[in-house]
Amino acid sequence: MDALREQEYPLLSQTTYLDHAGTTLYAKSLITAFSRDIQSSLFRNPHSMSLSSQLSTQRTENIRFAADGGANVFTLLNAASFVSTAALDLGDANAAPDFTALSFYKIFGFPDLGALIVRKSAARILERHGTLPFHSIIALDAAIDTHERLYGSMANISAHTGFLAKRVYDRLAALTHFNDKNVCRIYQSDYGNQALQGPIIAFNLRNSQGENLSYVHITSTSIPPAHPQLQPPTAKMFRFSKTLDPITLFHSPSLASSTRALNILKQASSTAGETATEDQASDHSRHAKQQRGEFELEVTTSPPTPDQLRSILDYISPLSGVGGQGEKATYGVAELVKGARDAEDALKKFKEDNDNFTRPLTVDWVNGRAVIGDSESEILRMVRQLPTY
Domain boundaries, the chain: 16-152, 156-238, 246-384
What is the pairing mode between strands 369-372 and 361-364?
Answer: antiparallel
CATH class of 246-384: alpha beta
Cis peptide before 360 (omega within 30 of 0): yes
The answer to whether the CB of 183 falls within 8 A of the CB of 333 is no
The answer to whether the CB of 163 falls within 8 A of the CB of 197 is no
Of 362, 360, 377, 369, which is closest to residue 321 (Cα–Cα)?
A: 369
Burial grade of 27 (CB within 10 A; 0-12, 13-18, 19 or more): buried
> What are the pLDDT tens digits along the chain (389 aa)?
778 888 888 888 777 777 776 677 788 888 888 888 878 777 766 666 666 666 677 777 776 665 554 455 455 788 888 888 888 888 887 888 888 888 888 888 888 888 888 877 777 777 766 677 778 888 888 888 988 888 888 888 888 888 888 888 888 998 888 788 898 999 876 777 777 778 888 888 888 778 787 766 666 554 545 554 444 444 444 444 455 678 899 999 999 999 999 999 998 875 444 444 333 444 444 444 444 557 888 899 989 988 788 889 888 864 433 333 345 567 889 999 999 999 999 999 999 998 999 999 999 887 788 999 999 999 999 888 876 65
